[in-house]
Structures are given as structure tokens and as C-alpha cells.
Amino acid sequence: MKYNKLGRTDISVSEICLGTMTWGTQNSEAEAHEQMDYAVQEGINFFDTAELYPTTPVSAETQGRTEDYIGSWFEKTGKRKDIVLATKVAGTGRSYLRNGEGADAKNIRLALEASLKRLKTDYVDLYQIHWPNRGHFHFRQSWHYDPFKQDRAKAVANMTDILETVGELVKEGKIRAFGLSNETTWGIQKYLTLSEQMDLPRVASVQNEYNLLYRHFDLDLAELSHHEDVGLLAYSPLAAGILTGKYINGQKPAGTRASINGDLGGRLQPLQEAPTKAYLDIAARHGLDPSQMALAFCLTRRFMTSVIIGATTMAQLKTDIGSANVVLSNDVLAEIEKVHRQYPMPL
């Protein structure tokens, strides 16, 4: 397992991060513990969660359960200090999370205290804003994204409020590093500028979607990542399971996310079928597991700090973690780029 620096901090994280969002609905507490045991055994030192989790499906009744499971594992194993732990505070829109008010000074403190209690710890290594209050194009919102309705002064005031609060929490020892999620290039850069001007905590990472079917980060965000040392924590590296091939030709196997969440957050639609089949063909021709090929491709990206995997079975987890040992040949990479040129944005 390789390890990378988290931004400009002194924190090193495994290049594969253990995602947790199925724990509490699709996975039991015992299964979550088994996954954490195995991941640590294989060299993973980085867990990612959120106050919102689990998400299959999202509900007020299950909210926070994933953090509970991680907390009980820490309590059972005593391995808190061995893990770089990341969690998130929700943005606006979830009424059962503090009336949907989103991230600001008051709500960050309330959310963090609740997370720390569930996680049975007194600090978080990486605290992230799950999505910006002002709006964004993630979660398949590209087609009606409208930044022209945003109030710049209000957005900057909120960012300043967040940074000042995070700065206080760093001094209190409750947060080690600060990160963003589902952010835009302007949003990340504005946080960086404000932190430099006000001597406040710097953005260490951004957690955005990235996979063979959705490579938005290759463009402006890659440039920002290079110049500003804000690495990507890639979520949905298998496009919510599409790149495994299990949903080809309209299939929705029992127990899968698609059988629970329908269209996988808008991903499961006809435009993805052709490129998915093309990537599956590449894997088959070269004797590669399609999941491992997709994950190994993500690991080749120079802006990648860590790839967040999520599994509901131990077999899936072992396959995903095994991608760290897969090296893609130049021929495979060239074939992937050919498909990408033909189908640049199918999701």
C-alpha cells in the first residue's frame, strides 16, 4: 500500500480509503467491523464517513448510524490512533439535520460534537464540508446548475465564517485538517485565498466524484490541484458499481444499490451503457478484473491523494483493495483514452 501526503499537512494517508456509506443499511455493525479489520490488515489507514451516512437510502431514522459503527470498532479495538479519520458536516437541504441550515459556525460545532460522540473520539483528522451551502453542480445537477443566482457576498461571508470556526476547532484540538467536498474550482480557490489572507486553516483536500465515466476533475480542478496542493479524494470510483458490469443490459441484481436506490443518483441511464461495455471489453481483452482496472486507472492520476472504495461484501472489498497491486500497461491506458475521447461525459 502506498501513502500520500494530505495537502500540505504532515498527515499521510493510504492511496485507498475505506468508504463507509453502506454501513447501517446494507451492512450490519458486525460486517462493518469485519471490513475495518481487513482494511487495516491490508495497510489502509484512512476511513471516510459523514454525519449523513448511511445513504442507501438516506433517512432521518438511520442518520449517524455509520459513525456509531466506527465508534464501536474504535472502542473494541483501541485502534483510533492508527487511523486517519475523515467525516463531514452536511450542507443545506436536509431538514432533519438542524433544520437543513447547512454549514456555518453554529451548525459546524453542533455537528462535530455529535459526530465525536458517535465516533467515540475527541478529535477528527479531516473535517469536510459535505457540499456547499450556495449550490453546486455535483450529484447530477450539471444540467440545471445556475451560479448566476448566487450572492457572492453571502457566499464569501459563509466561507469566512466556516474557516474562522475551523480555525478555532483546530486550536481546541478537535480537528487536525480541513477539507471540502462536492466543490467547484472557484469555491476551492476562494477558500484558499481567504485562508491565506486571514492566516486560517488551509484546504487540504477535496472529495469529488471521479471515475472512468465522469472525469470532470481532469480539467480546471487538476490545474488547481497541481498548483495549490489540494489533492482529490475520489468518491464513486466505480460509478456506484456501474463499472463492475453488474448493471449491464438493465440488470438490477437483488441487494445492490440499484435495487434500493433505483437509478443510482441519475447515473443508471442509457448513455452510460456503450462506454461501460467498452471498458468491460478492455478489461476482458487484457485479463483484468473490471473493478480493479477502473480503480487502478484512478490511482494513476497525478492529482489523486486517495481513492475511496465502498463494498457491501468481503469479496468486493478484497477485489477493490487488490487494485493497489494492479499496474495498467501503456496499451490499456491508450485504449481507455480512446474510449474516453469517444464518450467524454456519459454521466
Residues classed as catalytic: 53
The answer to whether 316 and 325 have CB atoms below 8 angstroms apart is no
Task: Give the residue from 48, 86, 38 showing the smallest Cα distance to 321.
Answer: 38
Q: How many C-beta neighbours within 10 Å does residue 160 have? A: 18
Assigned C-alpha cell, 93:
437541504
CA dist 329 to 52, 283, 342, Å? 39, 11, 20
Answer whether 299's CB lies under 8 Å from 305's CB: no
Could you tell me which residues are beta bridge partners of residue 85? 47
Strand pairing report for 3-5 and 12-14? antiparallel
Question: How far apart are alpha carbons 158 and 112 in whole angstroms?
Answer: 17
113 CB contacts (<8 Å, ≥6 apart)?
A: none
| CB crowding 274-299: b at 16 or more within 10 Å, else e | ebbebbbebbeeeebbbbbbbbbbbb
